[in-house]
Amino acid sequence: MELLKKRIEEEGRVVGDEILKVDSFLNHQMDIELFQAMGEAFYERFKTHKITKILTVEASGIGIAAIAALYFKVPVVFAKKTKSRNLDAETYTAEVYSFTKQAYYDIQVSKRYLSEDDHILILDDFLANGKAALGLMAIVEQAGATVEGIGIVIEKGFQEGGKLLRERSVHLESLAIIDGFENGKVIFRK
């Protein structure tokens, strides 16, 4: 998606060998006009699928999932990373390692909000090693629901998540794929 790539080029900051910071428009401050265009782009890429719910994981997936849901006209469910008294006792659960926080979480979704009748589109802001996406897929599987596709805003193609998901023959769409960084600049996949 050219508009997204332009923003990454203009505002992205490379941190170390593996991290891209795009928190001026994606996952801290959010540019909602860009989110609208990205939500529509996901709709165009997945509109032939029957989607009944969008599933994401807190925190950074929620924004794009919510805007995309306006196009799909379905609810958003987000997996929670921490236990709390307002989460139902009956949950689907998967262990996920957070690449940025370098910690394990049990992500959880109440059994109330996913059922075997659901056709799920998983959306997230980043794909790195695929742990979050695989955890969400495991939760969908536990519910007996169907994963229709996975939509990612920025895939870091030099990490293994994209390969792991494509091996599973899931319909994966990334709005921008990064092949690496060179002298602080982002190299996009053609």
Ligand X SMILES: O=c1[nH]c(=O)c2nc[nH]c2[nH]1
Residues belonging to the binding site are 20, 27, 128-132, 156
Residue 19: name its binding partner from ligand PRP, ligand X, none (Cβ under 5 to 8 Å by kind): ligand X
Angle at 29 between CA 25 and CA 35, to 5 degrees: 50
Taking the CA atoms of residue 127, residue 10, residue 60 and residue 153 in that order, the dihedral angle to the nearest 10 degrees is: -40
Q: Does 127 bind ligand PRP (CB under 6 A)?
A: yes
CB of 33 to ligand PRP, least distance (A): 21
C-alpha 83/C-alpha 72 separation (Å) is: 29
Pick the closer one to ligand PRP by CB: 16 or 115: 16
Binding to ligand PRP (CB under 6 A) within 67-96 occurs at none
**Residues of span 20-59 touching ligand PRP by CB under 6 A:** 27, 57, 59
State the minimum distance, in angstroms, from the CB of residue 97 to ligand X. 11
Pick from 149, 161, 174, 181 the residue near ligand PRP by CB under 6 A.
161
Alpha-carbon dihedral angle through residues 95, 70, 44, 162, given to the nearest 10 degrees: -10
Q: Does position 128 bind ligand X by CB under 6 A? A: yes
Question: Does 97 engage in binding with ligand X (CB under 6 A)?
Answer: no
Task: Please give the Cα distance from 139 to 110 (Å, whole number).
Answer: 10
Place of tokens 């929620």: 62
User: Which residue shows structure tokens 């909602």?
Assistant: 32
Instruction: State the Cα–Cα distance between residues 110 and 16, nearest whole angstrom.
Output: 37
Question: C-beta of 37: minimal distance to ligand X in Å?
Answer: 19
Residue 25 binding ligand X, by CB under 6 A: no
Residue 108 interacting with ligand PRP (CB under 6 A)? no
| Contact partners, residue 80, CB within 8 Å, separation at least 6 | 58, 87, 107, 108, 109
What residue type is 71 in one-letter code? Answer: Y
Residues that bind ligand PRP (CB under 6 A): 27, 57, 59-61, 98-101, 124-133, 161
Residues that bind ligand X (CB under 6 A): 19-21, 27, 99-100, 126, 128
